[in-house]
A and B are shown apart, each in its own frame.
Chain A
Amino acid sequence: MQHLSIFPILIPLLFGAIMLLPPISRDINSQRIASVVGTLFLLISSAVLLYTVNSEGVQLYALGGWQAPFGIALVADKVSSLMVLLTAFLAFAVMLYAVAGQDKGGAYFHPLFMFQIMGINGAFLTGDIFNLFVFFEVLLIASYALLIHAGGKQKTQATMHYVILNLVGSSLFLFGLGILYGTLGTLNMADMAIKVGQLEGETATLAKTGALLLLVVFGLKAAMLPMHFWLPKTYASATAPVAALFAIMTKVGVYSIFRVYTVLFGEHAGELANIATPWLWPLALLTITIGAIGVFASPSIKTLSANLVIVSSGSLLACAAINSEEATSAALYYMVHSTLASAALFLIADIMARQRGKAEDRFVRSRPFVQPKLLGFAFAISALALVGMPPLSGFVGKIMILQATQSSTQTMWVWPLILLGSLAALITFSRAGTTLFWRHNGTAAAEAEPAKKLEIAGVALLLLASPVLVIFGGDMTTFTQQAASYLHDIHASAYQLLPGAAQ
């Protein structure tokens, strides 16, 4: 199918728009049905897209028939279609959870959710860097509104920080884009990748400024130190389905870093080759450290999972800093794993908080759970996955990252930090688990509601992904390796996307 590549953007857009129109907009039940059907369609079309890309190669879609580099192109390659499928799967599972009742807290949850997915998918698929900015704004404005969904002091406060930071980030993004356009004269990423190698002297320095400004913006999205401080508060205060969906937001930043600093400013960029690496190294390592300290200090599960998001961002940035095919492959695997596992933990934390009365999800003595077995099982699975213990997917990603280091200096820096980060998570999770499940007094709260069937289904879907990623780890890693080698091969990821480009 020719138009397959644009479906992941069109489907959420159409469903979101329909839900704003009168017959559906007044009735929450039909909105729910529309949302579940929409995300299911999205999941199917993303799976078909991935299958097509895998069997037929990269799908290039020129919007409006304007050929690149003059028009805007959507590029569905192995990397972007994997991320789109991940988003679709996450959205479907989270939507199952949300329709059980979490969507009632405020108006327009469903349309906003759809627009957010549209923004995320667009950011993954686009082959034009200004278009990337536009989709960033789409996902951001939806996320601003989703974050404040259901209201409350904490949310307003967290949203305030989040919005201001991201508005400044958007301005910086445009400054960077302006500089790059001024020096390169194009905004198509493949075209930029080809032209950037010809820059020299002052123009190269100017382009470097622009490129590093973009690193600041992507770093802000990816919660890279020192732009990480907004994340724990924001994620911990958001409504559970929103926080779970946000698990992919940092990955959008990391994905953009991989795109821009592997393809555009990678090995072939002449004077500007690997400009981000010297910055990424210390920042990635510090991000892991700060994240691990945050994990240690977390007083509740939501904060804990938010800090784990920072640790995983740091690990992914370390992969970007290593800048090799193995590292990119490791990062892709780890991205899929950590997105799903942390999203699951956000949802589980919400179910727990509802059953513990005033204690919520803090690590203090409280009443026992209404469903101790179910929650214990789910918590144990997500904990094992996030700590990176066998038999769940975390350990594969961790070993892949460890194995990707190239020199002994890299090994000496990356290994201890990643391993100590796992140890911090292990200690905190064992403390959390023993406190939450075994230190209790009295009986289960009478007013506490047990988790609904749809909620359990959503969490189960996310958790199920973890063992599946291990059992079919062979196929999965083969795929990520192919995707990584595509990204590192300038011939495939730039020249072949521009039919007329001279090599």
Chain B
Amino acid sequence: MEGLYAFCVGLLTACGIFLALRGRSFSVVIGLTLLSYAVNLFLFASGRLKLNAAAVLGESEQYSDPLPQALVLTAIVIGFAMTAFAVILAMRARADLGNDHVDGTLPVSPADTAQQSGGNRKCNT
């Protein structure tokens, strides 16, 4: 179980960081969301992974650490609010700046004035 869990957290983090490094605000917001999922899972694991263990004493034979659960709850709330803000800001930036690039300007390289290459460089002008 630990291996699978660690793999999930790692995959989510890797995807989150990759997307957060992209140039468009939409993929960045998705990346940040993935990162916050990864963080929440990770925080949860910091109290050790246990099966059949309640966080309340006396409810089960084993008990688990309640603190990480409280932390995750806090982190989820904060992360949710921050994501909402980032989405609104991205929309505002799209309106104010005329494009959805995080720098506010589309990168212009000598090559893509003539031929538009795929992925991030594709301009919608």
Contact = CB atoms under 8 A, between A and B. Distances in A.
A binds B: yes
Nearest to B38: A171
B43 to A, nearest CB: 5
A168 B20 contact: yes
Given A168-B32, A171-B35, A171-B39, A159 B67 contact: no
A151 B93 CA distance: 11
Contacts of A156: 89, 92-93, 96-97, 104
A141 B85 CA distance: 8
Nearest to A144: B85
A14 to B, nearest CB: 21
Interface string B66-110: 011001001100110110011001101100110000111000000
A179 B39 CA distance: 11
Given A168-B32, A171-B35, A153 B104 contact: yes
Nearest to B98: A153
B82 A170 contact: yes
A492 interface: no
B37 to A, nearest CB: 10
Contacts of B102: 160-161, 164
Contact of B86 (A145, A151, A167, A178): A167
B42 interface: yes
B82 A157 contact: no
A66 to B, nearest CB: 12
Interface in A162-184: 163-164, 167-168, 170-171, 174-175, 177-179, 181-182
A163 B89 contact: yes
A219 to B, nearest CB: 18
B39 to A, nearest CB: 4
A100 B32 CA distance: 39
Query: What band does the interface of chain A fall in when counting residues whose beta carbon is under 8 Å from B?
Result: 20 to 34
B36 A171 contact: yes
Interface in A80-135: 130, 134
Nearest to A186: B67
B42 A160 contact: no
B45 interface: yes
A178 B46 contact: yes
B85 A181 contact: no
Nearest to B94: A156
Interface string A201-229: 00000000000000000000000000000
Contacts of A145: 85
A153 B96 contact: yes
Contacts of B79: 170
A70 to B, nearest CB: 9
Contacts of A168: 20, 32, 35
Contacts of B42: 174-175, 178
B82 A174 contact: no
Interface string A419-430: 000000000000
Contact of B89 (A130, A144, A174): A144
Interface string B12-40: 00001000100001001000100110110
A271 interface: no
Contacts of B90: 160
A276 interface: no
Contacts of A174: 39, 42-43, 75
A137 interface: yes
A187 interface: yes
Given A153-B97, A167-B32, A178-B42, A160 B25 contact: yes
B93 A164 contact: no
Contacts of B74: 130, 134
Given A153-B97, A156-B93, A163 B86 contact: yes
24 contacts: A134-B78, A137-B78, A144-B85, A148-B89, A153-B96, A156-B93, A157-B93, A160-B25, A160-B90, A160-B93, A161-B102, A161-B103, A163-B85, A163-B86, A164-B20, A164-B102, A167-B35, A168-B35, A171-B36, A174-B75, A175-B39, A177-B43, A182-B46, A182-B48
Closest 8 CB pairs of A and B: A182-B46, A157-B104, A178-B46, A174-B39, A156-B96, A171-B35, A178-B43, A181-B46
